[in-house]
Amino acid sequence: MEQTWRWFGPDDAVRLPQIRQAGASGIVTALHHIPYGVVWSVDEISRRRDMIAGDPVLGLRWSVVESLPVSEAIKLGEGNLASLFDNYRQSLRNLASCGVTTVCYNFMAVIDWTRTELAHGLPGGGTALRFDAVVYAAFDCYILERAGAEAEYPDDVLNRARRWVASASEADKDSLLATIMAGLPGAYDRYDVPGLRRMLARYHGIGREEFRANYARFLREVVPAAEECGVSLCVHPDDPPRDLFGLPRIVSSADDLQFIVDACPSVANGITFCTGALGAGHQNDVPAMAKRFAPHIRFAHLRNVSKAPDGSFMEADHLGGDVDMVAVVKTLLKEQSRRRDAGHSNWRIPFRPDHGHELLDDIGRGTHPGYPLIGRLKGLAEIRGVMTAVAAIGGLPM
């Protein structure tokens, strides 16, 4: 498996030489400065690619795009989308012409990954990302004041949510909104509460089936172009894998993944297998899903979560938490071996250590939420150890 690392570009506090020190050779990045829906030009792509590969001693390459964003209008199925589909297809062709052929994206409406706390304290002083179901309900029902929201929560959660709001200062409420928006590192749309209400209103009348239809249309429009130019598109699961703010989430379960691969059968229509996003859902048996969808996995995010019965969860150590990481790694290595034996040229599956704890000298350094240097280095080292052991025992290629 190719060891990769998410890098947010030249403004990232984590530098390319440090990524090489961590042991990664593939870079996962995106052109966050380009607005959604605008073509990624060959010049812009080449500039980023050459920046990554500029020091031959480091031996780094741009391995995966994360993400080539899908415009909100496409998700909404709103208006004449021909130019947006054309632009997406052209960006795929331009990436392929520059040698970048694995493209991660998501189909989450309005907001990306969502947490209620970016620095939950750990023993010894480290911090972790956390999603608190009660605090989320407090925001949804009593700050956002979404119509009908209270009917979606049990009484116990609502009672605790009311107590949280009653004790929260305006600064606490503002901080919570900023935290909820933090999952969008390259987004141009960040909302205040009235703006979020207006954005949610645009989705009025779009339920699960309508949203699925819009997604299937997107796949039909772009997957043939991806296949033609040798690009592997790989959708990232919803994070968390549950409806949020009344918006349908349709990449959250095994049934959802099956719908996606069936909606447009193609080698170019693949999955980013994120053990943390899927692992946050009580309905998901992550190792079983890895086995079921192994032929469709083009990229992997390996991280772990610890869940609570009320729907809360926290980022755990990469080899801790509720997901059997060893079982998942074993499945990915076996799938690699199958691809190699079948004669596939790109048989290695790129993976990256996803969200890490903020530890040691990273505390207060100002890295992107969830993406500190040391916590991810620790996770990569742990996963590398699992890979080495599993490969040796099973006679599998790494």
Q: What is the pLDDT of residues 357-394, one digit of tens each?
A: 999 999 988 899 999 999 999 999 999 999 999 999 99
354 is catalytic: yes
What's the pLDDT tens digit per position in 235-281? 999 999 999 999 999 999 999 999 999 999 999 999 999 999 999 99
Angle, nearest 10°, between helix axes 286-293 and 254-263? 20
**Strand bridging mode 269-274 / 102-105:** unpaired
In this predicted structure, the answer to whether residue 188 has a pLDDT above a threshold of 70 is no
Name the catalytic one among 274, 317, 357, 362: 274
Across-strand partners of 105?
Answer: 235
Tokens matching residue 66: 């994360």
Measure Cα distances from 295 to 266, 333, 339, 347, 367 in Å: 11, 12, 9, 11, 34
The helix, strand and coil proportions of the chain, stated in percent and rounded to the nearest 5, come to: 45, 15, 40
Rounded mean pLDDT of 98-116? Answer: 95
Name the catalytic one among 236, 296, 318, 357: 236
- Triad 281, 282, 284: Cα angle to 5°: 70
Tokens matching residue 252: 């959250």
Name the catalytic one among 120, 296, 318, 355: 355
371 is catalytic: yes
CA dist., res. 49 & res. 27, Å (int): 9
| Whole-number pLDDT of residue 92 | 98
pTM for this model (two decimals): 0.96
355 is catalytic: yes
- CATH number given to 69-114+201-348+357-367: 3.20.20.150
188 is catalytic: no
Positive or negative torsion for Cα 262, 267, 269, 274: positive
Name the catalytic one among 140, 354, 357, 362: 354
Name the catalytic one among 296, 301, 318, 357: 301
What's the pLDDT tens digit per position in 156-183? 999 999 999 999 999 999 999 999 988 7
274 is catalytic: yes
